[in-house]
């Protein structure tokens, strides 16, 4: 019987998302390990370079060399930004961050605990990464829409060489020769022309009648109108026209105050205001400023006015009207006529009686 330990075993089946996650984790760990080794290699190379420079210059200590190099690269990046060399500035920031990170990764902390060393190194590297990203973003903001380097400007401003190949001249189509006309002999004898006299009579000028220009008819624009607006009397100009109101009845008489405004663009001249009250209503007394024409309706009164300027008001007018007790409201109609007024239409005011 075969030994079960020596039998081939099937590999453990993992779900696809699990295998992808494992593969991604391995790649991430490898990248971090490579980056850590790169930091240590850069730090060692930099130490050897600084030692060689110190040996050539007869300098005993190289502790301040790294600070001087970082300061030089930092100010180099700032200077490149001032002269619009943003690509060189980005390269300077990247080199600056790599050198800084390599020194941080190889730094020997005084603490003996491994987790404390790892925490300090990780925090230091995170700070360096944040500063690097901020420097790159700030450089891109300063660049805005400019070119990355001045060489791109020179390349764009360089004139394009014209093609030296000459364009062949267009070939014109040969025109076919026109046939020579054949002159037939005339059957009539040739006439010898007479010599022209030296004195040539001048032509007599004929008088040309001067044409009068046709008159240009310019259309005359119609005159602007005057427009009268009937309203109850009020001190609030914005509420005009004020067409409905509630008034008290005192001793069977309702006192109504009204006026009118010219809302047109021209002066209302030689005007007439005609008032009508309801059929079963009566005037308690003749209103001031109004006339009762002979033969006119008992419900009609006329008021003449000389002129009303645009956007101005007529003086307040007052009626005292008696209405039957069976009515809760009544109406007053006004008609306006003047020289420049449009065709008059009735403007009705309604009064609600408060008893």
Q: Give domain status of residue 21, yes or no.
A: yes
Residue 92's nearest CA partner among 76, 110, 108 is 76
Q: How confident is the model at residue 162 (pLDDT cuts 50, 70, 90)?
A: low
The count of domains in the chain is: 2
The predicted-structure confidence for 24-63, as pLDDT tens digits, reads as follows: 777 777 776 776 677 667 767 766 776 777 677 776 666 6
List, in order, residues 6 or more apart from 243 with CB less than 8 Å away: 231, 232, 348, 349, 350
Residues 148 and 234 in one domain: no
Distance CA(263)–CA(286), nearest Å, equals: 29
Q: What is the CATH number of the domain that holds 323?
A: 2.60.40.10
From residue 241, how far is each of 190, 234, 237, 327 by CA, in Å? 104, 9, 9, 24
Token representation of residue 250? 């005192």
Residues 141 and 243 in one domain: no
Q: Which residue has the higher pLDDT, 136 or 202?
A: 136
Residues 131 and 21 in one domain: yes
The predicted-structure confidence for 198-214, as pLDDT tens digits, reads as follows: 555 565 666 656 656 65
237: pLDDT strictly greater than 90: no
Domain of 312?
A: 228-354
């Amino acid at each position: 019987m075969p030994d079960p330990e020596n039998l081939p075993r099937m590999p453990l089946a993992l779900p696809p998302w699990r295998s992808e996650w494992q593969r991604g984790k391995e790649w991430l760990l490898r990248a971090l390990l490579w980056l850590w080794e790169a930091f240590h290699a850069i730090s060692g190379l930099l130490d050897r370079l600084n030692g060689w420079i110190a040996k050539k210059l007869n300098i005993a200590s190289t502790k301040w060399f790294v600070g001087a190099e970082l300061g030089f690269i930092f100010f180099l990046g700032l200077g490149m930004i001032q002269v619009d060399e943003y690509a060189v500035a980005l390269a300077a920031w990247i080199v600056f961050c790599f050198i800084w990170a390599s020194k941080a990764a190889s730094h020997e902390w005084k603490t003996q605990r491994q987790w404390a060393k790892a925490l300090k190194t990780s925090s230091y590297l995170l700070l360096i990464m944040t500063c690097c990203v901020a420097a790159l973003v700030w450089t891109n903001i300063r660049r805005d829409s400019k070119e990355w380097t001045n060489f791109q400007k020179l390349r764009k401003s360089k004139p394009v060489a014209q093609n030296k190949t000459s364009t062949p001249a267009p070939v014109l189509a040969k025109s076919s020769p026109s046939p020579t006309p054949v002159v037939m002999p005339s059957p009539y004898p040739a006439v010898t022309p007479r010599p022209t006299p030296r004195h040539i009579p001048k032509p007599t000028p004929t008088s040309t009648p001067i044409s009068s220009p046709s008159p240009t008819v310019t259309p005359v624009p119609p005159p602007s109108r005057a427009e009268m607006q009937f309203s109850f009397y009020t001190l609030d100009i914005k509420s005009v026209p004020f067409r409905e109101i509630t008034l008290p009845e005192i001793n069977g008489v309702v006192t109504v105050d009204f006026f009118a405004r010219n809302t047109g663009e021209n002066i209302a001249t030689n005007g007439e205001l005609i008032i009508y009250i309801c059929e079963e209503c009566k005037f308690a007394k003749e209103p001031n400023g109004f006339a009762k024409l002979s033969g006119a309706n008992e419900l009609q009164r006329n008021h003449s006015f000389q002129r009303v300027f645009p956007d101005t008001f007529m003086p307040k007018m007052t009626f005292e009207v008696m209405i039957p007790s069976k009515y809760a409201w009544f109406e007053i109609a006004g008609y306006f006529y003047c020289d420049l007024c449009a065709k008059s239409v009735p403007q009705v005011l309604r009064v609600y009686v408060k008893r």
